[in-house]
A and B are shown apart, each in its own frame.
Chain A
Amino acid sequence: MTPGRAFLDLLRRDLLLAMRRRSELANPLLFFVMVIVLFPLGVGAEPKLLAQMSAGVVWVAALLAALLTLDSIFRSDFEDGTLEQILIGAHPVPMLVLAKVIAHWLVTGLPLLLVAPVLATFLGMNPDAIGALMLSLLLGTPVLSLIGSIGVALTVGLRRGGVILSLLVLPLYVPVLIFGAAAVDSAASGMPVTGQMYIMAAFLVLAVTLAPLAAAAALRISLS
C-alpha cells in the first residue's frame, strides 16, 4: 500500500462521512449566513455604512464559522478509536493529518467561499472588490483549518477543550483576518491588492508545510 493511496482513501472516507452527517454539514454555512443577514438588522440598514463594513463582517463571520467546526476534525475519530488506528498505521502521520484537514476544508471552508459573493453583494460591497474577497477567502480559509488542526490536536484529549481551543487558536487567526479584510478594503477603494495576497499566500504555504507536522506531534501527545 503506497502512502499516496492511503492519503486518498482517508480523504475519501472523511468526505463520505461528511455526506452521511449532512446536518453537521449545513451548520457552519447556516451560521455564516445568519451572522451576515442579522448584521444589518442590528446596525441599521444604512447602505453606505454597510458597504464600508462589509469586508470586515464577511471575514469575521467566516472566521467564527471556521472556529465553530474545528473540533470535528479529530473529535469523532478520537472518540471511536479510529485516530489510534491512524497513528499506528504504516504511513507518515503528518500526511494523513493533511488529508483530514483538506477534507475538513472542502466540507466547511469551500461552501463559505461559494456563498460569500452573494452575501457580500447583499451588504452592498463594491462589485470590484468581490474578486478580491473570493481570492482572500480562497487563500485564507485553508489557513484557518490548518492552524485550527494544531489546536484541536492539542485539546482533543481534554474533556472540555472548547474554551482553550478558542484561546489557543484565535490569536493565530488575527493576522489572517487583518490581511484578508485589508485586501478587500483596498480593492473596494480601487487600490492594488497584490501585497496582501502575497502575504496570504505565504501564510498558506507556511501553514501547509508546518501545521501537519505540528498537529501530528500534538496528536501523539494527546493520545499518550
Chain B
Amino acid sequence: MSEQPISLEAHHLSCIRDDRVLFEGLSFSIGSGEAIVLEGRNGTGKTSLLRILCGLRRPDEGEVRWQGIPIEKNYVDYYTRMAFVGHMDGIKRELSALENLRLSRSLCGSGNVSIEEALETLLLTGYEDIPTYYLSAGQRRRVALARLLATDARLWILDEPFTSLDREGIALVENLMDEHVGAGGAMIMTSHHEVRLSTPGVRVLNLSAREAA
C-alpha cells in the first residue's frame, strides 16, 4: 500500500440554496489520520457540503483542493482515492452484492482487500450472490459500506452511514472507521447518532454553531 500522506482542503466555500446562504467562507483541511464529524441542525447544509467536497455540486464560491490541486484538475487521482456513500446506497437491486462491488472496483479502482473479504468483514458472508433486492435495508447499507473497503479509498466521505444499521452494525462500522483513520486514512462524515470513535484525530465541525456566531 502506498502510504503517501493525503490532504483535502476546503478553501472559502460558500453554498447558496434557494436564495438562502447555507454557509460562506468555510475553510478547513483534513489529512492522514484525521476525521471530521459534521454536526448541525437539519437544513444547515451538511449534505450540500459533502456533495461539494465530492465534486458532485459546485460551490458558489471557493474551491476544494486535493493534494493542493483543485479537484476538477486532479479528478483521476482524487476519485480513485475517495469514496462516497450518500443517502442513497448506490447499489443496484437487481444485481448481487458481488456484481455491484465488481462494478465499483472497475469504476474507482480496486484496493488490496478482495470483494469477498470486504463482504465478510461486514458480516455479509452467504449473501454475496443474492440479488440485493432480497436483502434488508440494513444489509444493503452494509453492501454500500463494503465499497469503502473493496476500493482503494483513502478518504471516506460518508453521509449518515449508520442509517438502517442495527446496534451491532454501528459498532462494527465504528471499528472499521477507527482502523481506517488509524492506518493513515481520512474521513468526513455526518451523523445524527453519537459517534464513538477512539482515534485521537477526531474533530467536530458544527455548521449551525457557525451560523449563530
Contact = CB atoms under 8 A, between A and B. Distances in A.
Q: Do A and B come from one complex?
A: yes
Interface of A: 1, 5-6, 9-10, 13, 16-17, 20-21, 76, 79-82, 84-91, 96, 223-224
Is the interface on chain B under 10, 10 to 19, 20 to 34, or 35 or more residues? 20 to 34
Contacts of B91: 80-82
Interface stretch (B37-45, B75-83, B187-195): B75-83
A222 to B, nearest CB: 11
A80 B88 contact: yes
A1 B105 contact: yes
- Closest 3 A/B residue pairs (Cβ): A81-B88, A89-B107, A81-B90
Given A16-B95, A84-B56, A91 B107 contact: yes
Given A1-B105, A9-B102, A84 B86 contact: yes
Given A9-B102, A81-B88, A88 B55 contact: yes
A84 B79 CA distance: 12
Contacts of A224: 51, 56-58
A16 B54 CA distance: 29
A9 B106 contact: yes
Contacts of B102: 9
A89 B99 CA distance: 16
Given A1-B110, A9-B106, A90 B79 contact: yes
A20 B94 contact: yes
A71 to B, nearest CB: 17
B21 interface: no
A90 B57 contact: no
16 contacts: A1-B110, A9-B103, A10-B107, A17-B95, A80-B88, A80-B91, A80-B92, A81-B87, A81-B88, A84-B84, A85-B108, A88-B54, A88-B56, A88-B82, A88-B108, A90-B109
A12 to B, nearest CB: 9
Interface of B: prevailing SS? mixed
What's the dominant secondary structure at chain A's contact region? Answer: helix
Contacts of A96: 107
B11 interface: no
A137 to B, nearest CB: 29
B54 to A, nearest CB: 5
B12 interface: no
A156 to B, nearest CB: 14
Contacts of B75: 90
A37 B109 CA distance: 50
Contacts of A1: 105-110
A47 to B, nearest CB: 46
A82 B90 contact: yes
B80 A13 contact: no
A82 B84 CA distance: 11
Given A13-B103, A84-B86, 18 more contacts: A1-B109, A9-B106, A10-B106, A17-B94, A20-B95, A20-B131, A80-B90, A81-B87, A81-B91, A82-B92, A84-B84, A84-B88, A84-B90, A85-B84, A87-B56, A90-B107, A223-B56, A224-B51
Interface string B103-117: 111111110000000
Contacts of A17: 92, 94-95
B90 A90 contact: no
A224 B131 CA distance: 30
Nearest to A224: B57
B108 A90 contact: yes
A72 B105 CA distance: 24
B193 to A, nearest CB: 21
